Amino acid sequence: MKDEKKTSRSPELEGEEKREHGKNRDHGHDREKNREHGRDKSREHGWGRGFGRRHPGEVTGKYQLKDPKNFLEVQNLVVEYSSDKKIVQAVNGISFSLKKGETLGLVGETGAGKTTIAKAIMRILPDPPAKVKDGAVFVGGRDLMQMPEHKMLKIRGAEIAMIFQDPMTALNPLMSVGDQIMEVVQIHNHYTREEALEHTCKMLEMVGIPRSRSVEYPHQFSGGMKQRVVIAMALACNPELLLADEPTTALDVTIQAQVLDMIRDLRDRLNTSMVLITHDLGVVAETCDKVVIVYAGQAMESGARNDIFLNPQHPYTKGLFGSLPKMDDDSKRLSPIKGLPPDPTDLPRGCPFAPRCPKACEACSQDASIPEVEVEPGHFVKCLFAGKEDA
Ligand SMILES: Nc1ncnc2c1ncn2[C@@H]1O[C@H](COP(=O)(O)OP(=O)(O)OP(=O)(O)O)[C@@H](O)[C@H]1O
Ligand code: SF4
Ligand SMILES: [Mg+2]
């Protein structure tokens, strides 16, 4: 009966769930030691399901790690989808980096390429239609784009986990939440059933769900609790890098705050590095050390949180801040950014923001690509007027 339930899941979902879940026996303590043992003990065959059709694309290994202190270093990542004989240019040469224990916010409008970036880091983009055309993703000093799949199987789950955007689709409605976490725990550890159950219950308790509820099914949980279960599954592997894709967007404000507090607390306790994908600049202000403002698959502006919040330079970043309500200023109306993001199958020449930019001039649409300028240490802006008077 149990097997029947499992086969009812889509192979892709099943593969993704497995990839995001863990294999280290303890979380928080002796992580390095456990990871060494965990690698040796991992059952690669279980992790292998659903991966056969994925490969690194056409990247060539021409990139070098720039700073060994970076735990994550994404360089010039380019991803395309083929769709109806058109090419969707989803990610167009984005670069960013993250040190151990840091949190980086990837912020941008819908369709900016945020989820594609996260899936490219995990190397779980479906190929076809997705193709990584260029770039490098260094995690712990190794370029994942050059990694053979059998090595990726060990890295996914052990070192990188992802909280998927939609908790409803990340859970199997036909299995109890406990079984779903336990399945993963057992695949990646030589646990007895009792040990795996105990580990599962501890993970549930860690995210504030009583162990007695492990026998319940997803439909018996509220949206916020389902999101907690998904987080427990992602953290069951005690990952060093957590990719959290809009982990609170589907939740109401009170639950959002609780879930964010919990993620922050877990991150601090486990010294996890985190890429937090969000539309919400308030969440970024409270949670992130660094920020990357993404538009049309490019980093328009990036830097330390305070640089971006206190000294935004790019017209798009300024537009995002301008569209937020201000408590101390009730005289002005909100000024949303006019227009829509460009069609990714037909990106404009030069700056992709030009059609919406109040400062656009002819030169902005002439250059094949706009250079990135470091306006202060670690603060990069992709605009022709960056660093110039009245930028
Ligand atoms: N499987 C796919 N096939 C074709 N195009 C796709 C596919 N997945 C994503 N895209 C396109 O790639 C672009 C980037 O999508 P992505 O999901 O990465 O954006 P996002 O920033 O995560 O958006 P959102 O904030 O809505 O989640 C979009 O134009 C999207 O339509
Ligand atoms: S390059 Fe030109 S269009 Fe682009 S953001 Fe700068 S001023 Fe605006
Ligand atoms: Mg997304």
Written as tens digits, the pLDDT of the chain (391 aa) is: 333 333 333 333 344 444 433 333 333 333 444 443 333 333 332 223 333 334 444 556 689 999 999 999 999 999 999 987 899 999 999 999 999 999 999 999 999 999 999 999 999 999 899 999 999 999 999 999 999 998 888 788 778 988 888 777 788 999 999 999 998 788 766 788 899 999 999 889 888 899 999 999 999 998 888 888 988 888 887 788 999 999 877 667 777 787 788 788 878 887 889 999 998 898 899 899 999 999 999 999 999 999 999 999 999 999 998 876 665 666 556 667 888 999 999 999 999 999 999 999 999 998 778 999 999 999 999 999 998 765 4
| Residues, beta carbon < 5 Å, ion ligand 3 | 115
- Token readout for 54 is 């994925």
Ligand 1: does its nearest atom lie under 6 Å from the Cβ of 112? yes
Q: Which residues contact 87 (CB under 8 A, 6 or more apart)?
A: 80, 81, 345
Ligand 1: does its nearest atom lie under 6 Å from the Cβ of 113? yes
Residue position matching structure tokens 């890429």: 275
Q: What is the pLDDT of residue 389?
A: 62
Q: Where are the alpha helices (DSSP H) in the chain?
A: 2-7, 11-20, 31-41, 44-48, 114-122, 149-158, 167-170, 177-188, 193-206, 223-235, 253-270, 281-287, 305-310, 315-322
Taking Cα atoms as reference points, which of 368, 264, 143, 352 lies closest to residue 360?
A: 352
Residue 234: how many other CB atoms lie within 10 Å: 28
Atom of ligand 1 lying closest to residue 165 CA: 27
- Token readout for 231 is 């987080």
Nearest protein CA to atom 27 of ligand 1, as residue: 110
Q: What is the pLDDT of residue 121?
A: 96
Q: Which amino acid is residue 101, in one-letter code?
A: G
Q: Which residues contact 117 (CB under 8 A, 6 or more apart)?
A: 74, 77, 79, 91, 94, 106, 294
Q: Which amino acid is residue 341, in one-letter code?
A: P
The pTM assigned to this predicted structure is 0.82
Nearest protein CA to atom 9 of ligand 1, as residue: 116
Ligand 2: does its nearest atom lie under 6 Å from the Cβ of 185? no
Ligand 2: does its nearest atom lie under 6 Å from the Cβ of 90? no
Sign of CA dihedral 352, 355, 358, 364: positive
Residue 282: exposure state from Cβ atoms within 10 A (0-12, 13-18, ≥19): exposed
Whole-number Å distance, alpha carbon 70 to ligand 3 midpoint, is 25
| Angle in degrees, CA 222, 226, 230, rounded to 5 | 170
104 with 292: CB under 8 angstroms?
A: yes
Q: Which amino acid is residue 301, in one-letter code?
A: E
Ligand 2: does its nearest atom lie under 6 Å from the Cβ of 360? yes
Distances (CA, A) of 13 to 80, 111, 125, 327: 22, 21, 12, 43
Partners of 306 in beta bridges: none
Partners of 373 in beta bridges: 381
Measured between alpha carbons, how far is 19 from 186 in angstroms, rounded to an integer? 13
47 with 110: CB under 8 angstroms?
A: no
Atom of ligand 2 lying closest to residue 351 CA: 4
Ligand 1: does its nearest atom lie under 6 Å from the Cβ of 341? no
Q: What is the pLDDT of residue 21?
A: 39
Q: What is the pLDDT of residue 298?
A: 96
Separation of CA 280 from chain center: 15
Whole-number Å distance, alpha carbon 245 to ligand 3 midpoint, is 7
User: What is the number of residues in the chain?
Assistant: 391
Measured between alpha carbons, how far is 199 from 193 in angstroms, rounded to an integer? 10
Q: What is the pLDDT of residue 366?
A: 87
Atom of ligand 1 lying closest to residue 119 CA: 18
